[in-house]
Amino acid sequence: MRIAPALLAGLLAGLGSLSVSSHSVNAHSAPESAGSAVVGRLDSCPIDGVSDFSDSWGDARSSGRRHEGVDMVADRGTPVVAVRAGDAEFKRSNLGGNAIWLTASSGERFYYAHLDGWEGKSRPVRAGEVIGYVGQSGNAQGDHLHFETRAGETALNPYPLVASACLSAIAGVQEPVLVRRPLLR
Ligand SMILES: [Zn+2]
């Protein structure tokens, strides 16, 4: 069946207002280029512990989706922390599982998905404050954090920011391990 563009747009708009996951919001297109939107440096690595990650921005995912985040593989239960000071809102969805939207005072937004659980409840947080724990809730295979950065509604590749924040956090401690994990969502 062919869906009329206007109807499809309406469906997607409806999804956008209902879902906390960018996966369904952007099911119709590849990630947009950065344009003039910018997300500044992170004050903290999203994971307080060892993680493996690679640049998988734009990689194909199920149902024609494109990957709009970075997958950070870590042991289940590894603490996840706020990358900036802001408001952390805890939400649950089929795709993202136990998820968090962190909105910084600057308006930049950060999305954490597939958590094993949350720390506390939705609240204002400081940079570096523990807000949850790595897991594989929602549409995930294997324990990992799916992390996104957004300037308004525009998703930007979080990999350079995460690499900078996380590698500096462990500089001098150990070499980071960067591995491609194509099955992760
Ligand atoms: Zn992912």
- pLDDT (tens digit, 9 = 90+) per residue, 102-153? 999 888 999 999 999 999 999 999 999 999 999 999 999 999 999 999 998 8
For domain 5-21+33-171, the CATH superfamily is: Glucose Permease (Domain IIA) (2.70.70.10)
- pLDDT (tens digit, 9 = 90+) per residue, 84-93? 999 999 999 9
Of the CA atoms within 13 Å of residue 171, those in its CB half-sphere come to 7
Q: Answer yes or no: are the C-beta atoms of 97 and 137 closer than 8 Å.
A: yes
How many Å lie between the centroid of ligand 1 and the Cα of residue 72? 8
How many Å lie between the centroid of ligand 1 and the Cα of residue 38? 21
How many Å lie between the centroid of ligand 1 and the Cα of residue 172? 28
pLDDT at residue 169 in the model:
66
Rg (CA), the chain: 16
How many Å lie between the centroid of ligand 1 and the Cα of residue 156? 13
Is residue 6 predicted with pLDDT exceeding 90? no
Token code pair at residue 82: 């706020």
Decide the pairing of beta strands 70-73 and 144-151.
antiparallel
How many Å lie between the centroid of ligand 1 and the Cα of residue 114? 9
Give the residue among 74, 52, 48 at the shortest CA–CA distance from 130.
48
How many Å lie between the centroid of ligand 1 and the Cα of residue 149? 12
- Rounded to 5 degrees, φ, ψ at 101 are -105, 120
- Rounded to 5 degrees, φ, ψ at 46 are -60, -25
How many Å lie between the centroid of ligand 1 and the Cα of residue 154? 16
How many Å lie between the centroid of ligand 1 and the Cα of residue 124? 25
How many Å lie between the centroid of ligand 1 and the Cα of residue 126? 25
How many Å lie between the centroid of ligand 1 and the Cα of residue 115? 12
SS (H, E, C) the chain: CCCCHHHHHHHHHHHHHHCCCHHHHCCCCCCCCCCCCCCCCCCCCCECCCCEECCCCCCECHHHCECCCEEEECCCCCEEECCCCEEEEEEEECCCEEEEEEEECCCEEEEEEEEEEECCCCEEECCCCEEEEEECCCCCCCCEEEEEEEECCEEECCHHHHHHHHHHHCCCCCCCCCCCCCCCC
pLDDT at residue 31 in the model:
46
pLDDT at residue 32 in the model:
46
- pLDDT (tens digit, 9 = 90+) per residue, 9-50? 444 443 333 333 333 333 344 444 444 678 999 999 999 999
pLDDT at residue 168 in the model:
72
How many Å lie between the centroid of ligand 1 and the Cα of residue 3? 28
- For CA atoms 112, 117, 122, 125, give the dihedral sign: negative
How many Å lie between the centroid of ligand 1 and the Cα of residue 129? 22
Q: Is the pTM of this model over 0.85?
A: no
